[in-house]
Amino acid sequence: MPKAHGIAVRRQIQGAAKSAGIPAGFRPHSLRHAFASTLLSRGVPITDVARWMGHKDIRETYMTYSHFMPEAEDRGVTVLDAEYAEWSAAA
């Protein structure tokens, strides 16, 4: 896309955002971050989000967005505790 066209598109998007009451400083790229952070914070697997974002290496997704998954460790512990309880009950 020619640079002049990109600038025109950006201005249109920023104008629409302003009309919609979206705070100043909004950038179209913000939508990418909102997409990824929302999905990850609601438990969508990072492998899926990385693929949808077009990241060739999941480490890029992890390094950028892992702070949106603080409960992932707690979920992991809960799953392992439940599995251990099943094993213990079967023994």
Residue at 13 is within a domain: no
Helix (H) or strand (E) holding 25: none
Q: Is residue 50 part of a domain?
A: yes
Whether residue 65 lies inside any domain: the answer is: yes
Looking at the predicted structure, is the pLDDT value of residue 52 above 90?
yes
- 11 part of a folded domain: no
Say what the pTM is. Answer: 0.59
Which residue segment(s) compose the domain that 32 sits in?
28-90
In a domain, 45, yes or no: yes
Percent of the chain with pLDDT over 90: 24
In the chain, how many domains are there?
A: 1
Q: What is the pLDDT of residues 58-91, one digit of tens each?
A: 999 989 888 887 777 777 788 888 888 988 888 7
Yes or no: say if 46 and 62 are a contact pair by the CB < 8 Å rule: yes
**Residues 10-22: tens digit of each pLDDT:** 888 888 888 999 8
Position 71 scores a pLDDT of: 75
Is 48 among the domain residues? yes
Residue 33 included in any domain:
yes
Taking alpha carbons only, the member of 75, 64, 77, 4 closest to residue 34 is: 64
Instruction: For residue 16, tell me if it sits in a domain.
Output: no
